[in-house]
Structure 1
Amino acid sequence: MRILHVSDLHLRQQCLDWALTESRNHDLLVIAGDLLNFHLPCPAPKQAEQIKAWAAAIQTPTIVCSGNHDLWPKNPLVTKDTKADGQWLRLLKTNKNIIATDGDTISLNGTTIKANGWLKLPDPKPCDILVTHAPPSECDCSASDTGPDFGDQDLWHVIGGNMPALILSGHIHHPRKHACQIRTLAGSLTILNPGMNTSAPIPNHWAINTTSKKALHYPSGAIVNWR
């Protein structure tokens, strides 16, 4: 299975358009959070409507999880805000090609994949691939190239006994490394974080082949193999 893994698109139209087109050359599109951008003046609900219109054109099976930019709290003055707290992502599944969002587990071509929402933890049942915005803490994918670690400290408690083969993440725009591999008695784990380049029309991404167990990073050209 060929997977296109992107994250942190942050409503950048050129990157969204590229992902829409390039995903047609893959079996699965994975978006590991942060489709929206709370630094923009446009309110988050309106941004979500823009993403909804964009997602309607997706022709490739797609898994998307929420990131920290994708959630806004319910307004107590707006009693019918059914899109707050990331619920707008679940509504994207009106497009039959959005096959999983926060909290979903699916099996695709014999591969079990979970989508984990922001500030949530996946259930402890084993899976092959975990899609989550923040990578687990204390690894090279969770530490920025300037030093701070922005990873999820609690994730290890869930995956420690049943480690997936792959974690597809984002969140850290300039990670120390775009890939890291961890081996313990519980198994071998490969973590991928494409990172982000705000000035590039093509988003950072990983092109993953689950059959050959190989992943190619753009733009660095790094190749990762796993077992």
Structure 2
Amino acid sequence: MSRNDHVVGSAYLHIMTILHVTDFHFNKRWFDWLPDNAPAHDLLVMSGDMLNLSDAAPHQKQIDWVSDWINDYPRPISVCSGNHDLEWDSELELWTPAYWVRNLASANVWVDGQRVTLDGLSLLNISCTTRPKGGNADIWVVHAPPTKTLVATRTNSRDAGDPDLVDPIRRYSPQVVLSGHVHNPVHWHEQKDSTLYLNPGRDTDARFPNHILLQTEDMSCQLISAKKQEFLPRPAVVENDSMSTVAA
């Protein structure tokens, strides 16, 4: 087991509810909604773009505010960085990985490059700057979904997915890929082969964020947004013994 792997065993996580949100872009109202009004959940997954490069607030102030919020959140969090979360190096004059996200790692916060096992179910957080991508895990948390999927295709038919995820997904066959980046996907879910792809999308004007509730007992899920609610049943997934190996 590497230093980036964590095993958590707890009765309340035995039948786990994952709340998946994405692309907050420094919408403080949505951050405030989570601890007080979000549906009951055991694990919060945030799949990137917590910050907003177009916001008037200085980037470092956004980082400080979001970091404090994550540290204070009352439940376990699994988070990956998105393209808006990168850091600008003024000396090198280039964007660098979101080191501030990695610095948030703690007993209940799992970040870029870390895999956590919760009562036998493994989650891997994959940074948007990671190369190569992927690893052995049941659930991947990524920012941009893989290309050539409905969750990566905008309603204008443009594919905004990540081509670097396609081959790793064929190799590792994760059960679920939780993503964001595409705010208006053609559809919020797609099943291809043995992998379920999920992206709740983003409704900028909504009073609460689009979110997905994933029940890990049978991998059924529900999309809840200001405009609609949809339920997706799914048969129980056969456990894959290979998932116990250490992720890259």
What TM-score, normalized by structure 1, do the two folds share?
A: 0.89
Q: 2:67 aligns with which of 48, 52, 59?
A: 52
Matches within 5 A, 1:1-227: 1-22=16-37, 25-76=40-91, 85-94=97-106, 96-98=107-109, 100-121=110-131, 124-183=134-193, 188-219=194-225, 220-226=228-234, 227=237
The 1:128/1:77 distance shift into structure 2, 3 A limit, reads: closer
Task: Report how far residue 125 of structure 1 moved.
Answer: 3.6
Is the CA contact 1:181–1:190 (under 8 Å) kept in the aligned structure 2?
yes
Does structure 1 retain, via aligned residues, the 8 Å contact 2:44–2:76? yes
Per-residue CA deviations over 1:14-59 (Å, capped at 9, x if unaligned) read 1101123356821100000000000112221111011012122201
- In structure 2, the CA distance between the partners of 1:225 and 1:19, relative to structure 1 (3 Å rule), is same
* C-alpha distance in 2 between matches for 1:221 and 1:118: 29
What amino acid is aligned across from residue 125 of structure 2 in structure 1?
A
Asked if structure 2 preserves the Cα contact closer than 8 Å seen for 1:114 and 1:131, the reply is yes
TM-score under structure 2 normalisation?
0.82
Contact 1:103 1:122 in 2 (8 A): no
In the TM superposition, residue 77 of structure 1 has moved relative to its aligned partner by 7.4
CA deviations over 1:116-135 (Å, ceiling 9, x no partner): 00132465542100000000
Supply the AA of the counterpart residue of 1:21: D
Which sections of structure 1, spanning at least 5 residues, go unmatched?
A: none
Q: Provide the C-alpha distance between the structure 2 equivalents of 1:30 and 1:84, rounded to a whole number of angstroms.
A: 23
1:143 and 1:84 map into 2 onto residues whose CA distance is 27
Distance 1:121 1:27, change over 3 A: farther
The separation in 2 between residues aligned to 1:69 and 1:111, in whole angstroms, is 29
Letter aligned with residue 142 of structure 1: A
**Length, aligned pairs only:** 217
| Counterpart amino acid of residue 108 in structure 2 | N
Instruction: Structure 2: state its 5+ residue gaps.
Output: 1-15, 238-248
Q: Percent identity?
A: 34
Q: Name the aligned partner's letter for residue 59 of structure 1.
A: P
* SS of equivalent to 2:18: strand
Specify whether residues 4 and 22 from structure 1 end up closer, same or farther in structure 2 by C-alpha distance, changes over 3 A only: farther
